[in-house]
Amino acid sequence: MESIRMSGITVGGRLRSLRNSMKRTLKEESEIFEVSLNSVFRWEHDLAIPKKSMLRRIADYYDVSFEWLLFGEGEEKKAAQNNTVNIESCIEKQLLRMFKILSGDNKFKVLGYVERICIEDLGGELGSAARTSFVCPEGAEVV
């Protein structure tokens, strides 16, 4: 299979570079995108190209432009952001993904734990503000 190659680097090379920038293994990457380990390996070694919908998902996850990911053209980043913001975005997405699979009781445990960390890290005043800011919309069911 002929890979899409622009500016000397293939789609697979850009995918591998993104994964390596986060110091992730192939297995971790496969879990994040809910595909087989073999799929990620094939993508990174230019044996296959992800479907368009998966490329868009990967681009969104890493906060890079679809055009850069597919063709190596244009700006890599969607918006002018530094690497710290990109890493924080990835961490937030990973936390949200894991949080969504927790049971209701464990979600409240996590919320309490995060609240305690905020109090320790940012001081009691901000921690109190964070505690009062958690309000379920009227009629919403907490599960």
Q: What is the pLDDT of residues 120-143, one digit of tens each?
A: 777 655 544 444 445 455 554 444
**Segments making up each domain of the chain, as ranges:** 5-97, 102-133
User: Would you state the pLDDT for residue 80?
Assistant: 44
Joined tokens for residue 41: 């390996």
pLDDT at 14 over 50: yes
Contact 78, 65 (CB under 8 A): yes
**Cβ within 8 Å of residue 89, ≥6 positions away:** 63
Q: Which residue has the higher pLDDT, 85 or 21?
A: 21
Contact 4, 71 (CB under 8 A): yes
- Mean pLDDT score across all residues of the chain: 76
pLDDT tier for residue 16 given thresholds of 50, 70 and 90: very high
CATH architecture, range 5-97: Orthogonal Bundle (1.10)
User: Would you state the pLDDT for residue 6?
Assistant: 44
